[in-house]
Structure 1
Amino acid sequence: MRRPSVASSAGAGRLLSLDVARGVALLGMVIFHLCYDLALAGLIPRDVPTREGWRLFAKLVAGSFLFLSGVSLWLAHGRGIRWPVFVRRIGVLALAAAAISATTYAMAPDRFVYFGILHAIAVSNLLALAFLRLPALLTLLVAGGVWALPRLVALPALDHPALHWIGLSTWHRPSMDFEPLFPWAAATLAGLACTRLATAAGLWPRLREREKPAANLLHPLGWPGRHSLAIYLIHQPVLVAVTQAIARLT
């Protein structure tokens, strides 16, 4: 029997639920950045974003983005890499990541973003290509190893700042946003593996059927998720401008 393609497994068109999930992750990111900007403006105590609850919230949001990038990678390329689409997406992510690095370096060179969430998504997706043809359970096992390794290993040989992005050094330079390859690539690999298992179980056609009655609601709710990169790049300058303006008025 011919194996089903990703298109037939996922159903025609976009998965509205995936767009909504991206939108929820995006909302979480905006909430955390608003907290950070309020603290930066002196409108709330400066230590609030570094408190344990907020730090955990930020990690969950970052992990959600990386997991969903693994989901999208399998749905788009699981039965064959569409190289023009993949290269274009990675290129856009790389340019956006470089813009974030340059902008934050100009603002705060001692804490600039040298390997943030966009960098992590781009590099993790490149790494995950090697797992598209490997068994899902093996990919999950590797994901567990990627997550655990930084807790077990710290290599002085990787202490040069140019290598901090790997995540296995004994220290790393401060950054506003830091998601190194180890352990964060684990989330992308886990998303890839879980989506592959869901495809084998025939989840996507059933999900498409469940979406149909609520399509008129899910489609507008998924709008932020369909424009997540643009919103990511725009929202923080807006939040900074608004919070700083409020701080000056008060």
Structure 2
Amino acid sequence: MTAFHFCFDLNYFGWIRQNFLYDPFWTTQRTAIVSLFLFCAGLGQAVAFTQGQSWPRFWRRWAQVAGCALLVSAGSWLMFRDTFIYFGVLHGIAVMLVIVRLTAHWGAWLWLAGLAAILLPLAAMPLHVAAGNLHLLNGRALNWIGMVSMKPATQDYVPVLPWLGVMWWGMAAGQWLLRERPALLPGAIPRAFAPLAWMGRWSLSWYMLHQPLLIGAMLLVR
């Protein structure tokens, strides 16, 4: 993610010329990064749910994510007035965390629910055609659901569908691991991966700080 954003920032300042919106080299990386984010978030929820995380503690963490999402919107509005982030990855995670928490007891059905969530947006275009183009679903008020006929103009867009499916699969995988391979998740981390483990423990802080630091450094050397 950091390397991806570093290249994005280089492109923003004109030091490289890349098409981050349409070039598969970059769009595939973005899809992989977001998928990993959401899968790990679902897996983390499986651990928290299994350990009996209380609702007050859940809401405290949720408030941190939601608050950071608002900061992302504000910061992106300053940089990209016309394409600011109003429903990016943190906004999506905030909504999906609640859904995943409420459905944590679904067990193995989470796999099927995840598949349905991933496939459902494929019906968006036929739905728009059959209904005479549902402009309401393309508007900012509802396009966060994901049933759009065209992607909105925004710097980051992570709608509930299909991405909820990835988080559901993370929850399902986490529950399976905790039930069938309980010794795997709490296992020791190789020393070489210790820095990555540190970033994982402070993932939200890293996510929020790395871009301002990268952009600030680039502004200093321009």
- State yes or no: 1:208 paired with 2:179: no
Question: In the alignment, which of 106, 110, 114 is matched to residue 139 of structure 1?
Answer: 110
Could you say which residue in structure 2 is the equivalent of 1:176? 155
Could you say which residue in structure 1 is the equivalent of 2:199? 224
Q: Secondary structure at the match of 1:70?
A: helix
- By relative contact order (CA 8 Å, sep 6+), the higher-ranking structure is 1
Mean Cα deviation higher: 235-244 or 141-150: 235-244
Could you say which residue in structure 2 is the equivalent of 1:82? 54
- State yes or no: 1:41 paired with 2:13: yes
Q: Deviations over 1:34-58 (max 9, x none)?
A: 1110111111114256420111011
Could you say which residue in structure 1 is the equivalent of 2:172? 193
Identity of aligned residues (%): 30
The 2-side partners of 1:48 and 1:160 are apart by 23
Could you say which residue in structure 1 is the equivalent of 2:212? 237
Within 5 Å, which residues of 2 pair with 1:55-94?
Answer: 55-78=27-50, 80-94=52-66
- State yes or no: 1:149 paired with 2:85: no
Q: Deviations over 1:61-103 (max 9, x none)?
A: 1110100000010101136451121000111111100111112
Deviation of 1:135 (Å): 2.5
The one-letter amino acid paired with 1:228 is S
TM-score of the aligned structures, taking structure 1 as reference length: 0.79
Could you say which residue in structure 2 is the equivalent of 1:113? 85
The one-letter amino acid paired with 1:52 is P
The 1-side partners of 2:184 and 2:217 are apart by 43
Aligned length: 214
TM-score of the aligned structures, taking structure 2 as reference length: 0.88
The 1-side partners of 2:202 and 2:34 are apart by 17
Greater share of residues in helix: 1
Structure 1: runs of 5+ lacking an equivalent: 1-28
